[in-house]
Amino acid sequence: MAKPNLYQRLRANAQVRYALFVTGVLLMIVAALIGPLPGPGFVILFPIGLMLALQNSLWAKRRYVRFKMRHPRYGDWADRLMRRVSAARRRARAALDRLDGD
């Protein structure tokens, strides 16, 4: 079995997970504040903050899943911004289903 790296060992600590979650929330707030400014600030900061929040909070994961169920189009945009592997798999599977259906 592979030895866990430093990031995985740190994330095992509840205080570190909480700090990472708070950092993610702060990044999302900052992204919303600088969003109107010219440049790609929002597109860079918001996905990073969202990823930190989702990786370190079960509450955030549940909220994100509910959001994606209610608004699948916006959930797909968020997945694309975060470059989620599961979203890429889902898109590839949907494309294959469309090809098979024709």
**Phi, psi for 71 (deg, rounded to 5):** -130, 75
Question: Tokens 């098979």 correspond to what residue?
Answer: 100
Residue 87 forms part of a structural domain: yes
Residue 85 forms part of a structural domain: yes
Q: What average pLDDT is seen over the chain?
A: 84
The model's pTM is 0.69
Q: For residues 2 and 31, what is the distance between their CA atoms, to the nearest angstrom?
A: 36
Write out the residue range of the structural domain in which residue 25 sits.
6-101
Q: What is the pLDDT of residue 102?
A: 60
- The count of domains in the chain is 1
Of residues 98 and 28, the one with the higher pLDDT is 28
Instruction: List pLDDT tens digits, range 11-59.
Output: 788 888 999 999 999 999 999 999 888 888 888 898 889 888 988 888 9
